[in-house]
């Protein structure tokens, strides 16, 4: 089943983060996931999670009988790839198979009164969380959501270009041994790259995991997919694959072991571009990368996640946080390929007969149609400050770009900065 088509700098205040349920202290992430580590029970430690049906665009709730192919595919991948966590999904209304004990462990069955109760509309996540907790005893529940999807046709116009053409032949095992590029000829010729239409699939999804005991958001993932000549099903499966991979990496994520007596480093708020400061997902993406990359990379400095913590602290501004697409015009390249072989016989001066061959080559032209490439660009001015003296220990301007995710670009920047922090103030093992 296919989805329907649908077609300045501001300082970030602490209150803005808190209003989003994202405290500055104790955030951790792997891949594109943000997790609230201030929660009593960590999302990565949840043993039982209810998987709700997919919510589409602005619909208030997911329906189990809509996009069931996608719901089933996501559940199948989760059951296969995520270990030591029991995900319970809702039984497909069209599935006539008899329930068995194995299915009862991973599905909320139709005859269970909880089936319809949990799928009704809830006015708040607190109400939904209470229903999930009271009915299933699960620590959490996951709400997958398609935020945006579109199929776009991009036109590559007919384009003239000039290519170098070549012809020659090689002799193998001839009277004078092997010879190459015999009768070589080359010239330049005009070549027209034909017009071509390419179908681009675009899909954005987010996954929100809630703590069923509190109704608070415990984890968030947002993912983007852009690719040519694939269907929407492929795009969905790729994002589902990314999600399960990020979840598994999250469960293994931890700070580096640092030497005893290592200096401590904390964090202060970053100034954000106005558009990013108004976007919940942007705020989460920036701050989880800012903090988690420090824990991942610092080997000689201990990370202090407490508010205003650390003998040293990082501060600064994200100066660029943008996404876009770049048109890559059509072009042609050439390669030389063999197209004919002639065998011949010859005799040496002793009268012995040998067999040689002439291998003929010509230029093959390969057309490459125009297409859009996508990018996520970030830049930052970061400083390491000594909290006791107020002196700037280290200051750097950094830029990074990634074709798939903001998080990847951010992590490239922060990784580079924290590498220098280790050198500037880190201590080695004694």
How do residues 250-300 score in pLDDT, each as one tens digit? 777 788 999 989 999 999 999 999 999 999 989 999 998 999 999 999 999
CA angle 200, 206, 210 (to 5 degrees): 170
- CA-closest candidate to residue 43, choices 80, 11, 85: 85
Q: Who wins on pLDDT, 220 or 34?
A: 220
pLDDT at res. 98: 47
Rounded Cα–Cα distance for residues 417 and 405 (Å): 19
325-348 pLDDT, tens digit per residue, is 999 999 999 999 999 999 999 999
Q: Do you know the residue count of the chain?
A: 430
Rounded Cα–Cα distance for residues 28 and 296 (Å): 10
Rounded Cα–Cα distance for residues 147 and 235 (Å): 13
pLDDT at res. 91: 81
Q: Who wins on pLDDT, 181 or 108?
A: 181
pLDDT at res. 430: 56
What sign does the dihedral 284-288-291-294 (CA atoms) show?
A: negative
pLDDT at res. 15: 26
**What's the pTM value of the predicted model, to 2 decimals?**
0.80
Rounded Cα–Cα distance for residues 225 and 234 (Å): 10
Buried b (16+ CB within 10 A) or exposed e, 26-60: ebbbbbbbbbbbebeebbbebebbbbbbbbbeeee
pLDDT at res. 384: 98
pLDDT at res. 8: 28
The number of helices, as runs of H, and strands, as runs of E, in the chain is: 9, 19
pLDDT at res. 96: 52
Least confident of 43-47, 115-119, 308-312, 351-355: 43-47
Contact yes or no for 355/324 (Cβ under 8 A): no
Asked if the model's pLDDT at residue 12 lies above 70, the reply is no
Residue range 104-133: average pLDDT? 86
Rg (CA), the chain: 30
Contact yes or no for 364/335 (Cβ under 8 A): yes
Rounded Cα–Cα distance for residues 103 and 124 (Å): 29
> 67 pLDDT band (50/70/90 cuts)?
confident
pLDDT at res. 50: 95
């Amino acid at each position: 089943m296919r989805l329907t088509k649908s077609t300045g700098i501001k300082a970030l205040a602490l209150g803005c983060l808190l209003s989003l349920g994202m405290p500055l202290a104790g955030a951790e992430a792997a891949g594109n996931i943000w997790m609230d580590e201030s929660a009593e029970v960590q999302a990565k430690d949840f043993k039982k999670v209810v998987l709700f049906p997919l919510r589409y665009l602005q619909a208030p709730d997911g329906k189990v009988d809509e996009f069931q192919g996608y719901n089933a595919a996501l559940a199948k991948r989760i059951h296969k790839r995520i270990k030591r966590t029991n995900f319970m999904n809702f039984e497909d209304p069209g599935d006539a198979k008899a329930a068995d004990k194995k299915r009862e462990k991973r599905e909320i069955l139709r005859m269970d009164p909880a089936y319809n109760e949990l799928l009704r509309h809830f006015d708040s996540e607190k109400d939904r969380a209470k229903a999930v907790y009271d009915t299933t005893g699960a620590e959490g529940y996951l709400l997958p959501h398609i935020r945006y999807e579109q199929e776009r046709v991009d036109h590559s116009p007919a384009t003239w270009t000039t290519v170098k053409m070549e012809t020659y032949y090689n002799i193998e095992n001839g009277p004078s041994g092997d010879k190459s590029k015999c009768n070589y000829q080359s010239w330049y010729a005009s070549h027209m790259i034909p017009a071509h239409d390419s179908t681009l699939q675009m899909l954005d999804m987010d996954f929100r995991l809630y703590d069923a005991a509190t109704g608070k958001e415990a984890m968030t993932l947002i993912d983007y997919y852009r690719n040519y000549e694939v269907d929407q099903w492929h795009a969905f499966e790729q994002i589902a694959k990314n999600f399960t991979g990020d979840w598994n990496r999250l469960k293994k994520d931890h700070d580096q072991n640092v030497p005893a007596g290592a200096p401590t480093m904390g964090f202060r708020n970053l100034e954000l571009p106005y558009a990013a400061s108004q976007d919940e997902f942007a705020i989460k993406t920036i701050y989880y990368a800012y903090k988690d990359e420090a824990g991942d990379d610092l080997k000689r400095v201990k990370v202090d996640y407490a508010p205003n913590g650390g003998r040293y602290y990082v501060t600064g501004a994200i100066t660029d946080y943008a996404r876009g697409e770049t048109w890559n015009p059509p072009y042609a390249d050439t390669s030389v390929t063999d197209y004919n072989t002639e065998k011949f016989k010859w005799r040496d001066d002793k009268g012995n007969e040998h067999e040689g061959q002439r291998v003929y080559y010509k230029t093959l032209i390969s057309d490459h149609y125009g297409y859009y490439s996508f990018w996520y660009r970030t830049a930052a001015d970061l400083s390491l400050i000594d909290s006791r003296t107020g002196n700037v220990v280290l200051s750097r301007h950094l830029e990074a770009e990634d074709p798939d995710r903001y998080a990847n670009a951010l992590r490239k920047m922060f990784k580079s900065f924290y590498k220098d922090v280790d050198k500037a103030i880190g201590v080695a093992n004694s």
